Chains A and B, each alone.
Chain A
Amino acid sequence: MYQRLFTGFLLVVCAVLGWMAWGLEAPFSYEPVGPRAYPLLLLGLIAAGALLLFVKPALEGGDSAEPPLPPIMIPKLLLCLALLLALAALFERLGFVLSSIAFAYGMCRLFGGRNLQAVVVALVLGIGLYFLFDRILDVPLPLGVLAALEN
């Protein structure tokens, strides 16, 4: 069922990308194969595979390595995604330290940590990882609003 949904989606994506790829023309060409042949070949092959799985989903249904998703977990998964997106959005604006403290607190609670545990984990990770990466390992991280404190 889900597989059919996905392969159907894949077919639509292939069609759209194929239409886009058709328009790819090199303004000057020095070689017999332009930029569009290879992607079109791949899209054709993906579409063929997806079509096969769409028509006969039972072909490789077999024993699944992954257990099915319990419905109670869906809100939790969405919450996890929201947290990840929030981290990405605030990474530069708030700065690494503050955004990762907030993110770590949320994730810790989501994975079953208690309030106090989450506060400790968040503070240790946010501040500790900043010093580890920015100061010791020389990976520059944005300070964001905390930049004002630095000097």
Chain B
Amino acid sequence: MDTLQYLGQGFGVALSPNNLLTALAGTTIGTIVGLLPGLGPINGVALLIPVAFALGLPPETALILLAAVYLGCEYGGRISSILLNIPGEASAVMTTLDGYPLARQGKAGIALSISAWSSFIGGFIATVGVVIFAPLLATWAVSFGPAEYFMLMVFATACLAGMAGDKPVKTAVAVLIGLMLSCVGIDANSGVYRFTFGSLGLSDGIQFVVLVLGLFSISEILTLLERTHHGQKAIKASGRMLFNMKEGASVFATNLRSGVLGFTFGILPGAGATLASAMAYMTEKRLASKDNRFGNGDLRGLAAPETANSASACGSMVPMLTLGVPGSGTTAVMMGALTLYNITPGPLLFQNQPDLVWGLIASLFIANVILIVMNVPMIKVFTRVLEVPNWTLVPAIAIITSIGVYAVHATTFDLFLMIGIGVFGYILRKLDFPLSGVLLGFILGGLMESNLRRALSISNGDLGVLWASPISMTLWALVAFIVALPFWRAWRARKRTATMLPDA
């Protein structure tokens, strides 16, 4: 068993004192970032990249830090959902539905502990999934040529638009805007400056830290300001702090199902934790017996989304590590961090950098254990963080964001660019264009163009190369299916309203 041997080697990397300390720091930061409304895993991870660089962390340590923060955020997001009814980050939206009613019934302690336990199971199932599937996918993906890669990225972007729910056109436009933004700067193949408007600051393109922090921090600050006029008071976590065996057993089947579902959604490029938690919640609600209390504080309704979002966070590492296609917005940022280290994620990573890959996978196990151990006894400390008022929090976020952006190039041009992108992102957000689409498009853009051009160079301009191999033909079929999905849904919805009208 090669896999087990590699995994052992990975634990060797992840258990070194430095990396263990990093995982501990990362999970703590992640939990806090996750529970604060206004900061999510995407900004959390992006803000730490300049710090990781400045501290001279080796790539595997940096990646362990970022992954620990990511997983920590999925744990932390639930705290503000349960106590405040405000999701700490997007994928914890579904947690509010049953978590907040439970807290109102005085069961906040039980809700917090059972959701931490659910996150742990979700993370554990998905990490086992990563161990099994990632090496398989990597060996298979080595046979991908530029044409297949290009098609894979088309598939990833189509997935995002086709599965993002009720707004496929807006999502598609958002992805395309992201792809377009990645064209800015000097063209690597021909040396032509594209869309730089003669500006020196844009000549090597938009730095992805600038884009991420603009889109997610600045627009979030504006949104927080907009919401200053309705305050909300946190419910005190009191009573029994730990769930009992009976409660644990009642959600165990939910945990297992949602964990597998979350992992599957995590692997799909672009689907991400938000969709996974929503799907898990819907599925459990449908499976539950008629007398369910979903929406009024059902433990299963709390366990399902929490299991799924942790599982999906771990699962989204699979396409990032094996294919070099991020599975979620946060892994897109992690991929950006890897490219800053001159490491190109992809199938060869497993051969060339086994320490990095397996160290990361092993650290997912470790971070998960740290998080469950930390989250149960220290929950009182974390709930304290929620009492920090916005007037302290927001200036701090804004200044740290500026430091993060300034640290990339040490130019104030990037600060202005970030504000511009932030305003644009805020407008997009108000009009329901998903920002994660822009981010994923931006990360995939460069790879997509270079693979397309490489494929066409090999075929000497013949477009037929794009559907020449069985892999690319399968991908075309999948793309067609995914693009057809929203049309089919719209058609079915129209048919349903048509049949309902005569009744009314």
Chain A residues with a Cβ under 8 A of chain B: 2-3, 6, 10, 17, 20-21, 24-35, 38-39, 42-43, 45-46, 49-50, 52-53, 59-60, 62-66, 69-70, 73, 76-77, 80-81, 84-85, 87-89, 91-92, 96, 100, 103-104, 107-113, 117-118, 121-122, 125-126, 129, 133, 137-141
Contacts and interface: CB of A to CB of B under 8 A. Distances in A.
20 contacts: A2-B430, A21-B194, A33-B453, A33-B461, A35-B189, A42-B183, A43-B180, A53-B173, A66-B429, A66-B430, A76-B225, A84-B422, A87-B415, A107-B391, A109-B391, A111-B391, A112-B228, A117-B392, A125-B395, A133-B403
B296 to A, nearest CB: 22
Contacts, number: 194
A100 B406 CA distance: 13
Contacts of A69: 226, 430
Q: Is the interface of A mostly helix, strand, loop or mixed?
A: helix
Interface string B309-331: 00000000000000000000000
Nearest to B161: A49
Given A24-B192, A65-B432, A141-B403, A59 B391 contact: no
Interface in B182-208: 183, 187, 189-192, 194-195
Interface in B412-433: 412, 415-416, 418-419, 422-423, 427, 429-432
Q: Across chains A and B, which 8 residue pairs bring their CB atoms closest together, nearest first?
A: A32-B461, A113-B391, A26-B190, A88-B415, A104-B395, A107-B395, A49-B173, A111-B391
Interface in B262-320: none
B194 to A, nearest CB: 6
Interface string B164-182: 0011111011001101100
Given A73-B225, A129-B399, A89 B180 contact: no
B457 A137 contact: no
B394 A111 contact: yes
Contacts of A87: 398-399, 402, 415
Given A52-B169, A111-B228, A117 B391 contact: yes
Contact of B398 (A46, A66, A103): A103
Contacts of A85: 416, 419
A89 B415 CA distance: 9
Contact of A42 (B51, B180, B190): B180
Contact of B403 (A6, A34, A139): A139
Contacts of A49: 169, 172-173, 176
Most buried by B among A49, A66, A103, A118: A49
Interface of B: 50-51, 54-56, 166-170, 172-173, 176-177, 179-180, 183, 187, 189-192, 194-195, 218, 221-226, 228-229, 389-392, 394-396, 398-400, 402-403, 406-407, 410, 412, 415-416, 418-419, 422-423, 427, 429-432, 449, 452-453, 456-457, 460-461
A137 B51 contact: yes
A60 B490 CA distance: 11
Contact of A107 (B189, B394, B427): B394
B162 to A, nearest CB: 14
Contacts of B222: 77, 80-81
B467 to A, nearest CB: 17
Nearest to A129: B399
A121 B169 contact: no
Contacts of B192: 24-27, 35
Contact of B225 (A46, A91, A111, A121): A111
Given A53-B173, A107-B391, A107-B395, 13 more contacts: A6-B427, A10-B173, A21-B195, A45-B172, A60-B170, A63-B166, A66-B429, A66-B432, A84-B398, A104-B395, A108-B392, A111-B390, A112-B390
B412 A89 contact: yes
B195 A42 contact: no
A77 B226 contact: yes
A139 B51 contact: yes
B457 A31 contact: yes
Nearest to B396: A125
Given A26-B190, A26-B191, A91 B172 contact: no
Contact of A32 (B172, B176, B218, B456): B456
Most buried by B among A42, A76, A85, A96: A42
Given A49-B172, A80-B221, A39 B194 contact: yes
B54 A107 contact: no
A69 B461 CA distance: 50
A128 B394 CA distance: 16
Contacts of A10: 173
A108 B432 CA distance: 29
Contacts of B432: 60, 64-66
Nearest to A17: B195
Nearest to A32: B461
Contact of A81 (B166, B229, B419, B452): B419
A111 B396 CA distance: 12
Contacts of B180: 17, 39, 42-43, 46
Given A6-B427, A21-B194, A122 B183 contact: no
